[in-house]
Chains A and B, each alone.
Chain A
Amino acid sequence: MSEITYSQAINDAISEEMRRDEDVFMMGEDIGLYCGAFGVSKGMLQEFGEERIMDTPIAEQGFVGAAVGAAMAGMRPIVELMFSDFMCVCFDELVNEAAKLRFMFGGKVKVPMVMRTASGAGTGAAAQHSQSLEVCLAHFPGLKVVVPSTPYDAKGLLKTAIRDDNPVMFLEQKTLYRTKGEVPQEDYTIPFGVADIKRSGKDCTIITYGRMVQMSLEAAKRMQEKGIDAEVIDLRTLLPLDTETIIKSVIKTKHVLIVHEAVQFAGFGGEICGQIADSEAFYYLDAPIRRLGARNIPIPFNPKLEAETLPTVDKICASVEGLL
């Protein structure tokens, strides 16, 4: 084990897969000498050259579409979208093409590509560079949606994504890039559709993913002092979704808070509520299911306003206490 950053874990996952499989390559805006807007591809141009670490024009439809085509021809492209907000520019390529080609063509084609992108607020980048749009992607059968919360998960899940024969949307959390965690030296992968119970507890289940995992753990630690024992479930992948782990936990704790950074209204929390309500866990609930997401506004620029727009540790604690 060694302690590395979330960013390095992603870099390692890609580099190791590129050494292992010559069909893997990466393209995106300024990922070569510049190393990408968040520095994730540091050192990769030097190791793999311009042929495999390809700078692209500022043309998301162009290079994301090209990734779809290259995947159809049997390559394993990774595309880096500088900010997840830019998926709106190439939604057609992701949604109408990557997600649907296999089905429309009767199973005769595969689209083994990964779209990596920096997601979330907290950097003062305002409304067009701060969104958490995962629910938009989770709405499309044919895609897989991954949101890693730790360096360990980021590396293992990204390796699985690169080896997967389907289009995988990999939403990196931009405020986690510099966070550190233990990552084993040896090769490992983490299967999709398996949530991770990051903290076990008996009084309340906090269901979350991405950047909100660390905040929920912090909240759980604080609540421990007040005698509240919260369980924190990190979904890790939204599509496929590990409903089994959710249901088991809800039956155990009888109280549920769902936390995500994305806008609460029509967010992924609504789907989790639905999954619980549709299951036997519903009968075990001792209180209504609560959700905590961002306010229903675009992300504001001012740092105080930005922080108040999003869930905070205080808000998580207050929401749990309100449930019990």
Chain B
Amino acid sequence: MNKQYPKDLLADMWFKMNLAREFENRVQWLFSMGLVHGTTHLGVGEEATAVGSILALKPQDYVFGTHRGHSQAIAKGIDIDHMMAEILAKATGVCKGKGGSMHIADPDIHYFGADGVLGTSPVMCCGTALSIKKRKENDRISVVFFGDGSSNEGAVFEALNLAAVWELPILFICVNNTYGMSSHITKVMKDTDISKRAIPFGMPSKSIDGNNVLEVYDTIVKARKHVLEHGPMLIVENTYRISGHSKSDGNLYRSKEEINAWKEKCPIKFIKNYLIENGVFNDKQLKAAAQDANIQVDHAQEYAKNSPEPIMENIYDDVYA
């Protein structure tokens, strides 16, 4: 072990990555049982990007997630009972059953949510960053996750430019999971090094292994400090979406071999090996923690299943403030 991490931080990483994985596997299972209405976007295999990044932030930081954002919400500290209830379209859901999987948000914990239209979260994140700057909140930053697919949206370039020219306290985190729906990154980008997109905006950037939760954590700790002291930064976290894009995905665009090769690079396997090899936790301890995550997901599932449906009588309540 070449670096000392606090034991409770490592425990938290292990637990939250397992919780995210178990949560999404459960959503997939509920989906296959016909219990999930609509659609859902899973990010199995991307857990280190969310957990490593958000554990390096502070609770007061604003976070905008992606439509593939269950693990981001979990890392930010969302109540999974209410998130599962939202996915099952219940009145007790975090969005009262009005948003669904694609719009999971909890402004109470400064998680401004998943968004269904790509590229817009980065410009909105400039707005929360602007408010931080105007209010001179000196230990707070605004963070936006977006994908390699979104990075081709015009709004993202506008966001990078605004952030740079206004010197906003904003951290752009591009989760490069290799595919935008079915389109491989090489099919939609001439130069696939997304970190270069910071260069014309005079912004530093870094491209890292998004499956190595420790590298993600270390990078974001430094990036947060940079943002507070000097302004915006772009981090590209390279990973892979093992799950399909959504329920419509027949995996026609990639091979089993490719998926299996990435399963070998699973971020949970990586941290498990690290924790055992460095003697931080033994196998039994890790299994027990994973089992705890499982129990929490069981609880969330039962809570959601037993929750009431929303009613039409108050449907107009949240259209206007």
Measuring CB to CB, which residues of chain A are less than 8 angstroms from any residue of chain B?
25, 51, 56-57, 59, 61-75, 77, 92-93, 96-97, 102-112, 141-142, 144, 165-166
Contact = CB atoms under 8 A, between A and B. Distances in A.
B123 interface: yes
Contacts, number: 140
Interface string B103-115: 1011110001101
Given A59-B161, A96-B120, A109-B112, A69 B321 contact: no
Contact of B132 (A57, A73, A141): A73
Interface of B: 62, 93-99, 103, 105-108, 112-113, 115-117, 120, 122-132, 134, 142, 154-155, 158-159, 161-162, 165, 317-321
Contacts of B125: 69
A292 B102 CA distance: 43
Nearest to B168: A66
B87 to A, nearest CB: 13
A51 B134 contact: yes
Nearest to B95: A106
Contacts of A62: 123, 126, 155, 158-159, 161-162
Given A72-B112, A106-B96, 8 more contacts: A65-B155, A66-B123, A69-B125, A70-B127, A70-B130, A72-B127, A104-B98, A109-B105
Contact of A106 (B93, B116, B123, B130): B93
Contact of B154 (A61, A77, A96): A61
A70 B162 CA distance: 13
Contacts of B130: 66, 69-70, 75
Contact of B62 (A51, A59, A73, A105): A73
A190 to B, nearest CB: 18
The 6 closest A-B pairs by CB, nearest first: A69-B127, A65-B123, A62-B158, A107-B318, A69-B124, A73-B131
A83 B158 CA distance: 19
6 contacts: A67-B127, A70-B131, A75-B131, A96-B117, A105-B113, A106-B98
A70 B128 CA distance: 5
A109 B111 CA distance: 11
Given A97-B120, A102-B321, A66 B126 contact: yes
A26 B130 CA distance: 12
B162 A105 contact: no
Given A62-B126, A65-B123, A73-B128, A105 B155 contact: no
B105 A104 contact: yes
A92 B117 CA distance: 8
B161 A108 contact: no
B112 A68 contact: no
A66 B10 CA distance: 36
Given A73-B127, A73-B131, A66 B103 contact: no
Nearest to A52: B134
A105 B98 CA distance: 7
A57 B131 contact: no
Contacts of A69: 112, 123-131, 142
Contacts of B99: 104-106
A285 B22 CA distance: 65
Contacts of B94: 106
B105 A105 contact: yes
B102 to A, nearest CB: 9
Contacts of B96: 106-107
A59 B94 CA distance: 33
B32 to A, nearest CB: 26
B162 A66 contact: yes
Given A105-B95, A142-B320, A165-B321, A57 B158 contact: yes
Nearest to A58: B158
Contacts of B142: 69
Nearest to B114: A104
A62 to B, nearest CB: 3
B319 A142 contact: yes
